[in-house]
Every structure is written in C-alpha cells, then in structure tokens.
Amino acid sequence: MVPDNPNSSPGPVSPFNRTVQHDAKRTAILSQAAKLFNYKGSRATTLRDIAESLGLTKTSLYYYVATKEELIYQCYMAALDHHHSILDDVERKSADALARVSAFFVQPFENWLAAQEGRGPHIAALLEIASLKGPHRKEVEERYIELFKRVRQYIREGIADGLIRRCEPASVTRAMLGSVEWTFSWLHDVPTNKVTEIANEALDIMLRGLYGHSGEYRTVVVEHEESEDTRLHGFNREEQKRLKQEAFFKTGTWFFNKQGFNGTSLDEIAEHLNVSKGAFYYHIRNKEDLLFHCYSRSLDIVENIHSQVAGTSGTGIEKIDQTCRRIFHVQNSSQGPLIRYNSITALPMDRRVEILKRTDRSNARFGDFMREGIEDGSVRPISTFVAQNLIAGAVNAAMDIKLWRKVDDLDTTAIDYFDIFFNGLLPRH
C-alpha cells in the first residue's frame, strides 16, 4: 500500500477553506460594484445598493471595505491587475509583438462577454481616477502608466521587427487605449451572440485601417486659427453674459477633467475665476447644472465641427480626418478644453440620457462620413457602427495627449494620433 502524500490534494479546494471563501466573496463584491459603477456611476451608487444587490447587509459589506472611496480604489486596482494578468498570459504564449497587441485589443470585448454570460467578473471602467484622493490616486495612476508602457513597448518591438508599420508609438498606444476603454459605453447595444464578431471587426479596423486604396493615406498639415473672441464688447450686456458663462463652462470643464466630479468644488471654480459666490450662483445653480452645461457646450462645438466638415467637398475619409483633427485642436488649444466623458455618470439620469442621445447622434456623423467614403472608394468596406465608436473613444481620450508625448505642433500630433484609424498597424503595400 502506497502511503498518502501529505502534500497532495484530493480534488477541488475545500469550500470550508476560509481564505478561499473570503477571496470569492471579495471578487463578487468588486464585480458587482464595477457593474453598478459602470452603469450608475460611483456618485449615484451607494454601499447599500451594492450590499443589497448581493443579498448582504451593509454591515457585512464593511467587513470587506470601509468606504466607497476604498471600494472604487479596489475596483480600479482589480481592473488594472486583470489587464496586466492578460498581458502576462499573452507574453507567455507569444513573443510576436503584433500578436500581443492584437490580444490586448480584443480583451475588453472578451471581458464584456464573459461578464454577461456569468463566466467572469465585471471589470470597472476607469472613469473616475481623478476623483480618488492622495495615495489611492497615485497608485492607480502608476499602475495605469505601467499598462501604457507595456503596450507601447509592444508597438516599438513590432516596428523594429517589421510586423507593425512605422508610426509614433505613444500616440498609437494612447489612441488604442482610448478606443478600448470606450467599449463599455456601447457594447450594451450589441447582442451577446454578436460580440465576438464585433471584436473581430474592431481588430480588423485597427490592423488594416479605413483607407480604401493601396499605400498609405497621407494628409496635409494645416494651420488652425484661434477664433475665440473674449472681449467684453462694451455695453452689450447679452454678450457680456455669454462670455461670462463661457468662462464658467470652460473653467468647470477643466476642473472636471482634472479632478473628477467628486473632486471639484464650485468654491474652487469661483476662486479661480476671481468672482464672488453670489456672482457665481447667479449664473450656475449647482454643480450638476454646471456639469450639464459643460457637456452641452462641448457638444455644441463638436456638432458645429461636424456640420462645417459635412459642407465641404472632400472624400469621405478626408471628412473623417478633418473632423478628428479639428476636434483635437479645440481639445488641446486655448479654444478648449472639451469635457471628457469620465464624469457622465454624475449627471441625473434624465440629463445623462439627453447628453448621451446627443453624443450618439454626433458620433453617428462619423458613420455618415464613412458611408460616403465607402461609396466614393476612399474607405474600404467596414462596419461603420464599430468604426465610429472606436474613433469616438480615441477622440474622448485625445485631450490629455500632452501627458503621454511631447507636443511641438498640434496638427502634426493629431495626424500621428489618428493615423492608426486610417492606415492601421499592418505594413501597407
């Protein structure tokens, strides 16, 4: 008789193992919190909401997390750890840089499908990093930067190996991250049995681009005029009021982008503008009202750009190009900023729906230009729905480009940034 090996296991881990139980419960809490944060936003989601959705008491939840801030932090770190673990697995399986980039790109689609089918946890969209405080924000940002650098290194290695066409690695990486981070906002419109197909279509666009002809799509660097007029126009009270409101909205947008909704105070904005609280509240009722107007202002600008470009005589791909670059210029010049969608869940539901409907209509204009391009031959046949959402995600992420690369000229930087959508990653012949 062979004696039992004391180090062997008779089968699955015992359900009586307290460590296993604790880890399983923590995973379930983070998954449910991520699901609610992605949909409702952290501000609208309470610890009670999360506890009740799991059949727990609020007191039981406190055993795992003390505050909502701590829970947001844990959700974000779990999401980043998940992304890094995917890359760890990819690196073990392939030394091919292009294969690594491709696997990373389809990951959010696979995450989404697994969560919907109950095969994996919900992964938090990294929407409100700016709202985190002190060490929490620093740790999440550092972990995100590590992710950025890993993907950028794949791009660099792929270029060196001849697997990826020559491009600006930091710009391409940021555009890709922006695209995949945006998937949570539109995949809910896709039936689960179509998600894999959509993922393959998205990857095809990133690999081969939109351009419908052989060789590379080449654009022309143009000068952008600063058209903003900030003069007070003497005794014209309506114009004075408009310019003051514009100052409130621009400053509010800057703070919301940098500090998040929860991390921004109206007192701070008033102090920055050197106005009294009374004067401030004459124009703005509350923080939610200011946020709504910031989104409305940004959409007004973007919609105007779409309309201007639609009236030009260029090809479909030229219209996409011009739209992206004009928005990019506004985002990163004195005409901006435009608001990021990271704070959208802080809006009351009725106003959030209004803004999202306008946003969908605006993004659909990219699809209109793509269909024009398919008809005139400048854009190859692709899923316009998928392509317009990929570009929308990159556009949303474009306003912090100066954090990721040196910017000497805005238009040249814009060309580098959106290049992947026109020419793709693969060498073109």
Domain-located, residue 189: yes
Name the DSSP letter for residue 368.
H
Domain-located, residue 30: no
For 236, phi then psi, to 5°, come to -75, 95
User: What is the percentage of the chain residues whose pLDDT exceeds 90?
Assistant: 59
Q: What is the mean pLDDT of residues 190-218?
A: 95
Higher pLDDT, 102 or 265: 102
Q: CB under 8 Å to 352, separation ≥6 — which residues?
A: 344, 345
Task: Please answer whether residues 169 and 110 qualify as being in contact, where contact means their C-beta atoms are separated by less than 8 angstroms.
Answer: no
Three-class DSSP category at 396: helix
Most confident of 11-20, 224-233, 278-287, 306-315: 306-315
Question: What's the pLDDT tens digit per position in 380-393?
Answer: 999 999 999 999 99
pTM for the whole structure: 0.86
Q: Is the pLDDT of residue 14 over 90?
A: no
Domain-located, residue 224: no
CATH of the domain at 94: 1.10.357.10
Report the number of distinct structural domains present in the chain: 1
Question: What's the pLDDT tens digit per position in 135-174?
Answer: 999 999 999 999 999 999 999 999 999 999 999 999 999 9
In this prediction, residue 89 carries a pLDDT of 93
Domain-located, residue 111: yes
Q: Positive or negative CA dihedral for 394, 398, 400, 404?
A: positive
Domain-located, residue 44: no
In this prediction, residue 60 carries a pLDDT of 83
In this prediction, residue 165 carries a pLDDT of 96
Q: Which two tokens stand for residue 425?
A: 């990653």
Domain-located, residue 9: no
Confidence of residue 226 (pLDDT cuts 50, 70, 90): low
Confidence of residue 359 (pLDDT cuts 50, 70, 90): very high
Domain-located, residue 258: yes
Domain-located, residue 196: yes
The residue written with tokens 């901006």 in the block is 336
Range of the domain at 402: 78-218+235-429
